[in-house]
Structure 1
Amino acid sequence: MKSVDVVIPNYNYGRYLRACVDSVLSQDVEKLRVLIVDNASTDDSSEVARELAAMDPRVELRLHETNLGPHASFNEGIDWAESNYFLILCSDDFLVPGALNRAITIMEENPDIAYTYGRDVDIQGDSPIPSIAGQQSRPQYRLDSSRSFIERFCRLGVFQIPGPSIVIRTSVQKSTGYYRTELPHSDDYDVWLRLALHGSVAELDCIQAGIRTHGTNRSSDLWARQILHILHTADAAECFFAHEGGEMPDAKYLHRLARRGLAERAYWSAISHLLRGEKGVGELLKLAFRWRPVTAFLPPVGYLLQRPDTLRRLQRLVDMWARGTKRFRIGEAGSRP
């Protein structure tokens, strides 16, 4: 029997909690359990959670009187999990219909897969969940071996994975262990790398989850967000190679590759900010030059050739430049006598 345990950590997101839980309970799996872990919310989260549990016996509650932080919620969920598959879904996000069954079907066919992930759809603010076109029940997918997945992260210095879409084999999560409290901002990246040590990773060619962007969970300062994300990713890489990753046969090479990938990512982030006329260029270049001094003299063009989203990003920058040039020409024309 296909069985899934879904942990939903929550803090003051009572306004999103019902939609999140409903998106899970409507999944077409045979055996499903939901655990809402509330971290002493001060809004109506507890009331919403109790209503949801009263309406469906598949919903269980852990309502804390003291805020123990997100790590405690994640790790409590790992201890609670007992089904074949496992997922952590933050309460402001949601699952797309059929997401769990799609992931499980592929993982049942390939017992070596440690976890799967898919694409996401973005929601801004308090907007309702949009209507999403039906996804294939048996989507195409790309399978990365343990080694190739970790190397790809190191080479690019970034994860392009929507966290809410990750469905994990519970036995692998138990073997991997807890989220590390010493990584307050990138504990998930460290866990994803450690999970990959236990098997291959499948990227599904379909939309699996939705991520809500709002003022509470996302800074409005783009350059600060970008530089912090790079620094937090670097923290995760250093932690991984200081622990389990350091036991890989070619750990030293991969560790150097990760530092190079992060430096080159910082370099091109700086160039992107420069072309958009945004601040933070100097800070990003300092990171790049510190981690890989050669980038001060030799632009890392090879990095762009390896990122799958390079063409899309370049097109967006070209469009922005073209619009800016057009506005400048209109301004010139308007200033003539």
Structure 2
Amino acid sequence: MPSVDIVIPCYNQGGFLPDSVGSVLGQQVDDLRILIVDNASTDGSAEVARQLASGDGRIELLLRSTNQGPHASFNAGVDWARSDYFLILCADDILAPGCLARAVNALQRHKEASFAFGGQLIWEADAPCPAMASANDDASCSVVGAEEFVGIFSLPHRPVGTGSILVRTTAQKQAGHYRPELYYTDDLEMLMRLAALGGAVRIDAIQGVRRRHGANISAANWGNWQRELREVWAAYASFFAHEGSALPWGPPLERKIRTNVANRAYWSAVSHRMRGLKAESVELMAFSRSLDPAATIIPPFAYWLRVENVGAFVTRRLREILAQRKPAHPRGPRDGSVPQKA
């Protein structure tokens, strides 16, 4: 069985750390190492990490005395890795049962691919852990070419479990370190770099569980589509300014993706306007115009031809709009007060 290295960066996630580590130790991988990198937590995470390491010799520790930022933890893990495969798992997330064996088998079958990915579930704060199917090594998989994968994030897409992606360590070493200037979308940009080295394997199974709570790094983007799309474009701009610029399909794909993101921002602006969110709509339209001025002159209807399962996507968005526009109390509050705008 190939060897696997797992890096678990941690900052003030001591309460979640045992679940994260436990989900790794429960995988069907004989040759396994775990490195917990604590970034000078103030909640006792380091002591939790020590206790976990004292009970299992496969766990190593890197306990920092000063907070060096998340990218220092990611990059320390990249430098530490020496096994056949490598994965970064945030301390508040968990791996799905059997996911490592599925990913290893997929990469063993598809030697050209740089990494394997699947779907993810969201675990909302204070809710029970979502139910997951039992381990299944026979999940179907398919190869996704580099050009196709790089374009995934520019359009609405099936969930990509970015926190449970298994990478060939040789590919990770070649791709290098995470770029600290990309605070929110550093993982997306890294996946583009890895994809450019050999494509990917999509596994038709849930590979990880992302725990969503108020302290997530990405929490500032939740529900803020203008910021979300700006951060996604920042990842693309970084990739195409570096590794992507040398690829034969890089420049034409960059133009296509620029149009996709601009069109996505345009229709998001329309959606926000329909919900009465005028300020957000104006910001989104301005961002769309900054990427593609033509999009705000002629409505980009062709965008919908590029959206996967467009009927289901539009229906879902219309339901969300109607739900937001429908008054919570059609006849007014029982106490006679004036309802406030959301």
**Which residue in the other structure is 1:258 paired with?**
257
**Structure 1: which amino acid aligns with 2:202?**
E
Map 1:18-167 → 2, pairs under 5 A: 18-153=18-153, 156=155, 160-167=159-166
Gaps of 5+ in 1: 333-337
Residues 201-233 of structure 1, C-alpha deviations (whole Å, 9 max, x = no match)? 11211111001111111547755x322221111
Tell me the secondary structure at the aligned position of residue 118 of structure 2.
Answer: strand
CA distance in 1, matches of 2:22, 2:328: 50
CA contact (8 A) 2:121 2:130 kept: no
1:1-337 to structure 2, matched below 5 A, reads: 1-153=1-153, 156=155, 160-217=159-216, 218-219=218-219, 222-223=222-223, 225-278=224-277, 280-308=280-308, 310-321=310-321, 323=323, 331=331
Query: C-alpha offsets along residues 105-148 of structure 1, whole Å, 9 cap, x if unaligned?
Result: 01101101111111111111144433322253221223111233
Is 2:7–2:89's contact at 8 Å kept on the other side of the alignment?
Answer: yes
After superposition, the CA RMSD in angstroms is: 2.4
Partner Cα distance (1:151, 1:197) in 2: 12
Shift of 1:306: 2.1
> Given the two structures, how large is their TM-score scaled by the length of structure 2?
0.89
What is the CA deviation profile of residues 23-76 of structure 1, one whole-angstrom value per residue up to 9, with x for unaligned ones? 011001121111000000000101110010011111110000011111110110
Contact 1:36 1:59 in 2 (8 A): yes
Q: Which amino acid is 1:244 matched to?
A: E
**Cα distance in 1 for residues equivalent to 2:255 and 2:306:** 17
Question: How far, CA to CA, are the matches of 2:91 and 2:294 in structure 1?
Answer: 43
Question: Is the Cα–Cα contact under 8 Å of residues 157 and 261 in structure 1 kept in the other structure?
Answer: no
TM-score of the aligned structures, taking structure 1 as reference length: 0.90
Identity across aligned pairs (percent)?
40
Moved more, 211-220 or 200-209: 211-220
Which residue identity lines up with residue 58 of structure 1 in the other structure?
Answer: R
SS in 2 for 1:280: helix
> Contact conserved, 2:9 with 2:90, CA < 8 A, in 1?
yes
Of 252-261 and 89-98, deviating more is 252-261
Which is richer in helix?
A: 1
Compared CA separation, residues 90 and 24, structure 1 to 2 (3 A)? same
